[in-house]
């Protein structure tokens, strides 16, 4: 049990209860709008060595890092190296004969491009199936993903509807590389992580992880477990796979909301709802935007991979920020629910 008193104690108690119920392994942190991040940890970062998770442990965040890709694109838009209405053909030397020539950067950012996905989360539920044909250890750059989708046909016309799309964010990463002349991961580390003070964040290969990084675990139905080292691309990129810490993620939100990443106009566009899925959940540029009665209730990012679950959210009404990162395939969302229950209980107080 974590120790704290007063209102903070109530929050911590709720998180502890959720962690115990879900068997949560990871770290979680909250900023109640005062700029102070209170971070806690549960479970083991390394089960074999019985090394415990810490509040500053590095975790994989899967698709939670699509927002970093969106920021990188908007920085290059601000520098006039491309525009939101630039087409795929204008941005990339690679040719895609089966893709619609009218696909724009905006379409890619908002999952409305219609390009074929290499992993369609609407119809596929086992990410590991991908690596039966293409060994995961061969995926070390963005171009390595292209054979998985580049020859397929369009799913729908650009702008027709929202369909969550990982391949679209691979294309955005390639656009960053061509416009900046830098490898995507190097660009983000230099122009997003470092300016925000995120010194414990990076796109490290799974076979070269730094100290204080949590190993991702997959729990089997028979009670056994295995690591996720053979379940993911060996190095993450523009559609997912970065590593960060709870404190670093809060530094990112602070830098973004403080307009230190990009200026006012493009930050506003990033945080504006441009599309929505079939359930009505809205999407901006790299972020989900939940509305209630025309009011933005929650802006959040999330990521799920084998051995990874991640949620990080900002709550505009209160200024609160919450992050939960886990080295198991489930668990981050119930922690966020526990925090939101506490947050709602304090409204008006």
Q: The domain 40-346 belongs to what CATH superfamily? A: DD-peptidase/beta-lactamase superfamily (3.40.710.10)
pLDDT at 5: 46
Task: Determine contact, residues 38/194, Cβ cutoff 8 Å.
Answer: no
Condensed to tens digits (0 to 9), the pLDDT of residues 157-191 reads: 999 999 999 999 999 999 999 999 999 999 999 99
What are the residue boundaries of the structural domains of the chain, listed by start?
40-346
Q: What is the pLDDT of residues 189-217, one digit of tens each?
A: 999 999 999 999 999 999 899 999 999 99
- Give the pLDDT mean for 225-254: 94
Per-residue pLDDT, averaged over 140-153, amounts to 89
What are the φ and ψ backbone dihedral angles of 29, each rounded to 5 degrees?
A: -145, 150
- What is the rounded distance in angstroms from the CA atom of residue 347 to the CA atom of residue 103? 43
Predicted confidence (pLDDT) at residue 119 exceeds the cutoff of 70: no
pLDDT of residue 265: 97
Least confident of 14-23, 35-44, 180-189, 287-296: 287-296
pLDDT at 67 exceeding the cut of 60: yes
Mutual orientation of helices 332-346 and 6-22 as an angle, nearest 10°? 150
Of 150, 158, 65, nearest in space to 111 by CA: 158
For residue 127, pLDDT over 60 is answered with no
Tell me the average pLDDT across 4-13: 70
Neighbour-count burial for 104-119, b at 16+ CB within 10 Å, e otherwise = bbbbbbbbbbbbbbbb
295-305 and 288-292 beta bridge pairing: antiparallel
Stated pTM of the model:
0.93
Half-sphere exposure in the Cβ direction for 11 (13 Å, CA): 21
pLDDT reading at 349 higher than 80:
no
Burial class (CB in 10 A: 0-12, 13-18, 19+), 134: middle
The set of residues, in sequence order, having a beta carbon less than 8 Å from that of 305 and lying 6+ positions away, is 60, 62, 63, 127, 216, 228, 231, 232, 240, 241, 329
Contact predicate 134/79, CB 8 Å: no
Residue 27 has pLDDT above 50, yes or no: yes
């Amino acid at each position: 049990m974590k120790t704290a008193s007063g209102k903070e104690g109530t929050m911590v108690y709720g998180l502890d209860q959720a962690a115990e119920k879900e068997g949560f392994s990871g770290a979680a942190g909250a900023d109640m709008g005062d700029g102070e991040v209170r971070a806690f940890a549960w479970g083991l970062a390394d089960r074999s060595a019985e090394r415990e998770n810490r509040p500053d442990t590095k975790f994989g965040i899967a698709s939670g890092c699509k927002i970093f890709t969106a920021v990188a694109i908007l920085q290059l838009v601000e520098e006039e190296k491309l525009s939101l209405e630039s087409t795929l053909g204008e941005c990339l030397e690679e040719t895609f004969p089966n893709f619609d020539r009218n696909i724009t950067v905006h379409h890619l950012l908002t999952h409305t491009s219609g390009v074929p996905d290499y992993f369609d989360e609407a119809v596929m539920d086992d990410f590991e199936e991908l690596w039966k044909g293409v060994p995961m250890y061969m995926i070390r750059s963005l171009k390595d993903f292209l054979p998985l989708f580049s020859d397929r046909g369009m799913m729908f016309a650009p702008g027709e509807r929202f369909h969550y799309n990982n391949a679209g964010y691979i294309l955005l990463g390639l656009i960053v590389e061509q416009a900046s002349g830098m490898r995507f991961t190097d660009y983000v580390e230099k122009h997003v992580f470092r300016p925000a003070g995120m010194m414990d964040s990076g796109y490290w290969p799974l076979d070269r992880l730094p100290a204080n990084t949590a190993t991702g675990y997959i729990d089997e139905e028979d009670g056994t477990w295995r690591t996720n080292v053979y379940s993911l691309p060996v190095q993450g990129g523009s559609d997912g796979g970065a590593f960060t810490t709870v404190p670093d993620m809060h530094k990112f939100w602070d830098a973004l909301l403080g307009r230190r990443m990009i200026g006012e106009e493009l930050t506003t566009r990033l945080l504006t709802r441009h599309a929505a899925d079939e359930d009505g959940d809205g999407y901006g540029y790299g972020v989900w935007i939940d509305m209630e009665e025309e009011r933005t209730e929650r802006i959040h990012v999330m990521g799920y991979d084998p051995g990874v679950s991640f949620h990080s959210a900002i709550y505009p009404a209160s200024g609160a920020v919450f992050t939960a990162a886990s080295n198991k395939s489930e668990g981050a969302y119930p922690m966020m629910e526990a925090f939101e229950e506490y947050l709602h209980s304090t409204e008006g107080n």
